[in-house]
Chain A
Amino acid sequence: MRIGVFVCQCGTNIAGTVDTRAVAQRALDYPDVVFATDYMYTCSEPGQQEIQNAIAEHRLQGVVVAACSPRMHEPTFRRAVEKAGLNRYMFEMANIREHVSWIGQDRAANTLKAMELVRMAVEKLRRNEPLFASEVPINKRVLVIGGGVAGIQAALDCADAGLDVVLVEREQSIGGKMAKLDKTFPTIDCSSCILGPKMVDVAQKENITLHAYSEVESVSGYIGNFTVKIRKKATYVDWDACTGCGLCMEKCPSKKTVDRFNEALGVTTAIQIPFPQAIPKKARIQKDACRYFTTGKCKVCQKICPTGAVHYDMEDREVVEEVGAIIVATGYDLFDPAPYGEYGAGRYPDVITGIQFERILSASGPFGGHVKRPSDGKEPKDIVFVACVGSRDKSVDRPYCSGICCMYIAKQAILARDHLPGVNCYVFYMDIRSPGKNYDEFVRRAIEEYGVQYIRGRVGKIYPNGDRMVVQGADTLLGAQVEVEADLVVLATGVESSRGAKELAEKLRISYDQYGFYMESHPKLRPVETNTAGVYLAGACQGPKDIPASVAQGSAAAAKVLALFARDTIATDPQVAGVLESACIGCGKCLSVCPFGAIQWKTLRDGSRKADVLETVCQGCGLCNATCPPKAIQLRHFTDDQILAELDALCA
């Protein structure tokens, strides 16, 4: 084999602590290497051209580039060598940046290590074989998990482009957190007025299949061909028959059921449609609150239902959907303020959370949009907002900024002043973070036009005094302790990852950070992709986000799916396992270790049983290769031969 070695300087990134010229010189001593050089930026256009010229000029059969991590540029160089006529797998990369120059300052040691890594790559390349991808058809249906505003946007964009969309929502209605909001910042437009039409669109599009009150059970397959099992949870109401007339809710005798949609500020019935604009507008029985389920007697809803939709014997049902891509838009949950004992949320009825105040402001909320406090229904005269409750606080394991609270407090203070012009609003804040378009102007409006009193400091404790609450905080700008008496205290609870986010990530084989937010493939350049091909992210499941950013990501994820589906087939990765049948002893160990179910039995004409790899299912993890006793199953491009040759080179 005739091998060429190209050592990248990466400007000063590598050349700063590695003698790249010496590395190239040394490479000429390695077997089969006929050409070696170093270059300022090998990934640049002229850098790639230099590789292609050398392939032609020196009749190279394989290329080693010693540069950065293969994560970014292996595809670049593979394309470059392919253009020059080589097979794209006759290429190896030695990582002398992340593994060498960025982590060590000793130039001599770094240079030596770079030489050894190049030598390993050369030895591996000498045993490489051309590999060829095969094409499999793409199933042009998309699954969207989560029906909040991000998921709705993604589903609608895909449906508008003509794709078949499957939308799975865990709750009874789509709409997510946005459906609970009264108004939205910085324009104060009504949340349900702008979200409602989109929710209706979802229901009306013929190419969107909505599975509400359903959860993803399992996901198998790979990009282009996923199989998803969805559990439709029992609602005890036949949604094909239910018309959403609401008669059952009028007659249901269990009228003291905690209203979760109204954040426990009000009560509802055991059979319920969560809110007037719900999509689908269908009733569901909450089993633990239903008189029939708890006492065995009642059945009022069944008797009253004009379409006979109520079925107490309904059970969870499983449906299977085949899709080619998945968009994850599972959103977020809000921090539970219980760890802040000194704030007394849960102990004092007039210390509430931001989302609860949102329901109080809402015309469809527990008080019909009249701003009253929960304890005695009095109109508050003084309201205190406390920022950063469960944000930027290491002591409760939430060191990150939730990004939305500064804005929603400003909005709520403005709305409170709109509802009750006489009310005084105070905001305790640490910093005001308002980097969005027209956001800072909005906060200034709260301060300048609406007279909201902003106090720079955190709150130490909240305690009752008569029927009012005393908020004790600091004004760090004054250097003083301050006390504010309030009728109502609103804690701006922060954003945390959605309940169940980690379990879903494991089903999807995507990664998440220490707080349960899903990891994007690249924080700047691949913000909606995951490291699992064919699975995309949208909205707050990736990290705290406001509505505009969530909608933008919903559209971005849809665009990625459309780009994927613009082709009819997808090239499979040929770096998969293969079986040498003459060596296979039919022990079946590979079948039991394969995490993807990619290996099955195959019977030869002589009746013997051999392992057989489904190449489209195999993910190339190599577990079978490591397990196989006679080493009959080998992961292509990472065979035992190749890896041992690298080790030999290292130990030589």
Chain B
Amino acid sequence: MSQTAPTGDNKPNPEAGSVVFKRKGFQFMGLGTQDFIRFFFGGNASLAIIILILICVFLAKEAFMFFPQHHAGLKDYRQSGQEFVDYIGDEIGAHTNLYSSANIAYFAEVNRTSREEDDILRAHRAVLANLENLTSKTWGRFEREVDALEDVGDDLEDLDPAKEEDQPKIAALQEEKERLEKEIVKFRVELKEEVSAAINTNEAWELGVGSDAPPPESLPKLREAVLFEASPEVDEEHPYIAELKAVSKAKKAAAVEEFADFKATLKAMQDVVRPLKSLHSEIRSIASENKAVLVKLSTAADRKEAWIKGAAATKDPDEKARMLAEAEKVVIEAPDYDAMAEPFYEVIPEHAALIAPIDTEMAVLFQQLPDKVETRSAHENLKRAKVYYDRFVKTVAENRENIKGWSHEKPVSAVESVSSFLFGRDWITNSSWHDVYGLLPIFTGSLLISIIALVVAVPFAVSAAIYVNQLAPLREQNFVKPAIEFIEAIPSVVLGFFGILVFGETLRVVSQVEWLQWVPGFPMAERLTILNAGLLLAFMAIPTIFTLTEDALNNIPQALTENSLAMGASKLQTVFRVVVPTAVSGIIAAVLLGFGRIIGETMVVLLVAGNKIKIPDFTEGIGVIAQPTHTMTGIIAQELAEVDAGSLHWRALFMVGMVLFAISLIVNFSAQRVLKRFQKI
């Protein structure tokens, strides 16, 4: 990309005007063959340029049409009263979060007492399920034989032994019955053998991700119980398991006693918000209806026209009458916005009356939550509850202003329609309530994955480039360089495939390993995570960064290195004090271009990133890499096929494409600027 050496003057165009040298040839309108050839090339070049300009224009057109449409959507959102309803919804949401955290803390405490029994019971279920999978084939056959035996029995009952003509049938069925009974006995033995063989395999003892192993002293008994229950004759619980269940239940009951106060507080918390919830659901349905009216209005004119057109086209008089009647039914008039908003203004005092006691009571109830708990989970959840409580108080305080100031007539500003896209924290589409297009969740997802990919890729790619270019013997160079360039050709869908079928599971298994638990985010519950996608993309970016870095190192004037060596510097000193510092801007450009490649990659992130549209939870620090996320490229690939051309959703996706386009242009442009500085040296 970088060695574009200046080529002298490429225009040695001899003046062909002189009469002496004038050649006769094809002439048309004073233009010769040469001119036409020139036009042909020029025409194609302009075509190429036109196409490339078209891309920008077209994308920009589709994308920027988003804002007027979005603006209209926001207006509907306000006029229908949905905005008002969501204010109250926020209060309830904040309360629900608080309640949920406290609730988790409560259960963590209650379940703590019976933890050991629960672990064994969980292992018991897991092993039984594993055994069933391992022996499913024989089981299936066994069950079919049992069914067949039952059928034969039923048939026998239907036949009358007294009747003469039924005798041969009865005899045949009796024979069949005996055969089946023998088969079943045989199968039982077979199954028993299979089960006792299977229980010795490692697969049988795979307990699933994230579950704690049962205490070792319980294992022999557990094994006995599983063997007992897995055998084909038995249809009851092993006494050991039954006992465990009883103990666990008793312990939990005792714990519930112990934490009765906690439970009472939780219940009070739930009760106190109940009237607000019913108010909310009441006005929610009003707003929904309003919204439906507004949406219908937007297509009304077209529908009316279509019916009238259809009526004009059809010959059948009945059909014509029906269509005209349908056309008649379409209402185009704008509804009475004031009447639509009326119910919301009416509930303002009611809401104020409701929220005040909730606010004070929650303050009391929140204080009643226990501050000393034993399990870590409970501790963390109570801490989280504190955060949610503060958020609840804040929401309630803010809403006093919001609700007082709410007006369905307040115009939506243009800035709002832009900023709510660029800084919106939610991306909700195909909603029954209100579609929200906010860039932040997918943008942070893309960025986070790219950063991880770069953090991993840059050290490897740059060291490899330095090694290959400066230190490796020629023969090694000739092998390693093409080999790394070769990686670039792996199609991204193949890498995504590898990530989803092989690497994800490998990564998760690795994350369970005991001595790796210091790594943030480990153990990972998910297969498809930021880390998985980031590592695969790092692998994709390595060849790009490697090749460009290598180029940059190559372009260092030989004199510099020779000087350094001649001064007595060692090879490595030369590399790190002379070559690399000189090439640093080239390396930066390489990293930038690598970043451009990563952030625009689609298939890997679509398959592997986990597709969770949410701003990752950064409270876990670096552990955030174990979460799934969604990306800008992924969301386009996933949602574009489903949307109508020209709809708001379609334009939102084009807008995301536009953002990607802008990012890649900025990245490329700055890489070129950096390179230019480098070339000046």
Q: Do A and B bind each other?
A: no
